[in-house]
Amino acid sequence: MSALTNAIELLRCFSTARPDLSFADVVAITGKPKSSTSRLLRSLRDCGLLEQDPHTRRYRPGLLTFELGRLHRAHDDLIGTAERELREVCARTGHTGYIAVLDGHEQVVLRIVPGSNPLRVVNPPGQRTSALATSNGRAMLARLSDQDIRARVPGTFPRLPRNAPQNFKQLMERLSEIRRTGVSEASDEAIEGVGSQGFALASGETGELIGIAVSYSVQATTAAERANVRRELAAMAGKLRRMTGDPLGQTGMPLRTGAGAR
């Protein structure tokens, strides 16, 4: 870990005020021995985290740091853009919204947008839920290849509530329907008495995949309210897919959300 710590300390020497540094500069800033600093600079240069001007011999951040920074910025941009649009939908519908990512066959909540309705359905950020039993989880899975899905789902199928898929075949039937119609809905599955409608969004630049959903009480929400949520999410999905360059937005696949799912 000391080598990694030293490497991080060295990389922190660079800033907007110091975009490039000489070997002597780095030694002076870090106070590290010349021999170990020289070896570390060469290692960071060879792996692409730093690059060295062939004429001045000064070091500057390399292409790999740019690529990693670009991925981080794209991640923040995707999540932030989705959250801004979701806030408007939740403000208009009064229901709670979620943004999640896949981790194996589970989903992890990244952001939550509380609704204004007195009865709120809340899963805190960081909470894990089976993606097989949620609307946005299944919407994300439906964007993956069958091979990838099979690799994610355990050989012994997880035990899920009765309204959720009970085996791999049933799961694939649900996902096939989502692929065909663009529709993803869950009712009385991950949480008893809770329904949700969701869709998946992929970055056209990085391929990063997130799931977006609006949840509500099944019994306290009317058919008209659920239909309104469908319209809101469909419009949101179309807008976000155009904004983020999501390939799905170019395929002509239906962007409806919620109606007709089990």
pLDDT digits (tens, 9 = 90+) for 217-239: 998 899 999 999 999 999 999 99
For residue 261, what pLDDT is reported?
Answer: 33
Q: Reduced to 3 states, what is the DSSP secondary structure of residue 96?
A: strand
- pLDDT band (50, 70, 90) for residue 255: very low
Say what the pLDDT of residue 164 is.
95
Give the H/E segment covering residue 42.
Answer: helix 34-46
Nearest partner of 167 among 188, 178, 181, 153, judged by Cα: 153
Answer yes or no: is pLDDT of 16 > 90: no
Percent of residues, the chain, with pLDDT higher than 90: 65
Cα torsion through 147, 153, 156, 157, rounded to 10: -110
Q: What is the mean pLDDT of the chain?
A: 87
The dotted CATH code for 69-250 is 3.30.450.40
pLDDT at 70: 63
Cα-based distances in Å from 95 to 62, 101, 140: 45, 20, 21
- DSSP state for residue 15 in the 8-state scheme: -
Q: With 80 as the cut, is the pLDDT of residue 247 above it? A: yes
Do residues 26 and 37 touch, judged by C-beta distance below 8 A?
yes
Q: What are the structural domain ranges in the chain?
A: 2-61, 69-250
Domains 2-61 and 69-250 share a fold: no
Report the C-alpha gap between 204 and 134 in whole angstroms: 24
What is the predicted pLDDT for the residue at 87?
Answer: 96
pLDDT digits over 72-119, tens only? 655 668 888 999 999 999 999 999 999 999 999 999 999 999 988 866
The band of 158, judged by pLDDT with boundaries at 50, 70 and 90, is very high
Average pLDDT over residues 188-196: 89
pTM of the model: 0.69
Select the more confidently predicted residue: 257 or 49: 49
User: What pLDDT is stored for residue 165 in this prediction?
Assistant: 95
**Element holding 107 (H helix, E strand):** strand 106-113
pLDDT tops 70 at residue 126: yes
Letter string b/e over residues 239-253, b meaning 16 or more CB atoms within 10 A of that residue's CB: ebbebbebebbeeee
Quickly state the pLDDT bin for 254 (edges 50, 70, 90): very low
Question: What is the sign of the dihedral through the CA atoms of 7, 9, 12 and 13?
Answer: negative
- Tokens (6 digits) for 62: 């390399």
What class has domain 2-61? mainly alpha
Give the pLDDT confidence score for residue 78 in this predicted structure.
86
Amino acid 258: pLDDT: 36
Place of tokens 């907007």: 16
Work out whether the CA dihedral 139, 200, 109, 193 comes out positive or negative.
negative
pLDDT tens profile 175-188: 999 999 888 999 99
| Pairing relationship of beta strands 50-52 and 128-130 according to DSSP bridges | unpaired
- Answer yes or no: are the C-beta atoms of 196 and 223 closer than 8 Å: no
